Each structure stands twice: as structure tokens, then as C-alpha cells.
Amino acid sequence: MKLIEAKDYHEMSMLAAEVILDQIKAKTDSVLGLATGGTVLGTYQQLILDHKQNNTSYRNIKTFNLDEYAGLSKQDENSYHAYMKKHFFDEVNIPSSQTFLPNGEAHDMKAECENYDQKIEGLGGIDLQLLGIGQNGHIGFNEPGSSFESKTHLVALEQSTRQANARYFDSIEEVPTHAVTMGIASIMKSKKVLLLASGLQKSAILYDLFHSDVTNSIPATILRNHPDTIIIADQEALSKLHHDERKMFAK
């Protein structure tokens, strides 16, 4: 894992956008794995700004999102379909036919999950996977205890995850109890992984990410076994790591 230290959330977002833009420039038909939530929002804003200023084209880009809530319609304002349209897809020139998210309303969820993995494989796999990290170490919605061999699947959300996402809903009771998520094995097949972390609330889990053994009790630790993982974190998120440690992980 390579660590890049950012001053704050804004610089983290700018640096993350640069990594994604480098990927697009190197391969104009890249397959991007995308994430949602507050951590990555600034990255999308930077990509939109670049698109408007530099006319970077997404016409040949394909995207696969990590996850979607189970039971929410695509039109629900809290669905990840709606998030992606509002915060990225509608602002760049990517054809909607090339953007893929799990269908949280699928009647046959097992078939939906299998088809999702097959679509990714059919396009040659994900070139760059964007990730956040949960305070409990989840990536995607792969909660602690998730199998490292898991592919796209239906998962029950931990109460801590539902509480963390409750700010987007009127009440925690409205937060779905289940989600469809790409599995850890699916994520690990990505050619490059870009993980972002910002804020003091992520400092403890980021410390664990670098110091813990690889264990499915902290799912993100599996990224230590990935051959090309970049972590961009701001100073608050890195506040539990000593300066010398940061320098060592930055090599």
C-alpha cells in the first residue's frame, strides 16, 4: 500500500481526482469502480470541474458501483442510483448505458449478483476501484466477518453502519437493513485500488489498517495484499500515525 498524505478534505479530493484522470488519460475506455458517500463527494466535484474546464471525455468509460441499498427504488432520493446521477453521471458525458449499479429491487437477488460479476468480467475487469472506509473497517458494504472469498452478494448492515448513514434519511428506521455489495474477492480483482479517508472519525480505523494483521474482522486490511493500492488520507485521518510511520508508508 502506498500512502499519500493530504492537508485536508479538499486536497484529498483533488489528489484523488488526479489519480482517476491519469487512469482515464492512460486508457480512454477504462472500467471504473465507483463509490458513494461523503468521502468521495469532493472527488466527483473535482472531476466535474475538470470536465467543464478541460473537456475530459467519459464517452468510452464504463462504471460499476460498489453497492446499492436493498429495497429502495432507483428513483428514491436516498438510493445510490440517485446519488450517482445527481453528483456525477448527469454532469459529465458518460452514456447511461455504460453506468452500472446493483439492482436493489431484483426479485432474484442471487441471479442479480451473479450477473453483476459477469458484466464486470465481460468488460475485462475493473481498472481502478474507488473506495471509502467505514469506521468499522468495511469496504463497500462488506462488514466485519465478511469472507475474503465473497463475490457480489446481499448483506445485512450492521447497526453502526446504519447509524453512520442515518444522516441521509429522516430517521434511522428508514435506513435499509440490507444492501447489495460487491464482495471482497470482487474488489481485490481490480487492477488498482484507490482508498480515501478523511476526518478524525476515521483516524482509529486508519491506524488499524496499517497496524493490524490481515483479518476479516477489519475487512479493509485485505488491501495490504493487493499489488497496487493507493491510500489518500488527510491529516486528521492520519492523526494517530506518527510522522515517521507516515513517511515509511509513503514509500
Q: Which residues are within 8 A (CB) of 123 and not within 5 positions of it... i.e. 6 or more apart?
A: 31, 62
81 assigned to active site: no
104-136 residues labelled b (16+ CB within 10 A) or e (exposed): bbbeebeebbebbbeebeeeeebbbbbbbbbeb
- What distance, in Å, lies between the first and last C-alpha atoms of the chain? 9
> How many Å separate Cα 111 from the centre of its chain?
23
Asked about 10 being catalytic, the answer comes back as no
Count Cα neighbours of 154 within 13 Å in the Cβ-side half-sphere.
15
Dihedrals phi, psi of 129, to nearest 5 degrees: -110, 120
Whole-angstrom distance, CA of residue 231 vs CA of residue 113: 28
Q: Which of 170, 240, 169 shows the shortest CA–CA distance to 204? A: 240
With beta carbons less than 8 A apart as the criterion, state whether 186 and 110 touch.
no
Residue of 5, 50, 67, 112 with catalytic role = 67
SS3 201: helix
Catalytic annotation, pick one of 5, 112, 127, 143: 143
- Dihedral of alpha carbons 48, 52, 53, 59, sign: positive
Q: Which of 18, 136, 178, 226 is catalytic?
A: 136
| Known catalytic residue at 236 | no
Sort 182 into a burial class: Cβ within 10 Å, 0-12 / 13-18 / 19+: buried
Check 51, 81, 138, 153 and give the catalytic one.
138
The rounded distance, in Å, linking the Cα atoms of 198 and 135 is: 11
Catalytic residue annotation: 67, 136, 138, 143
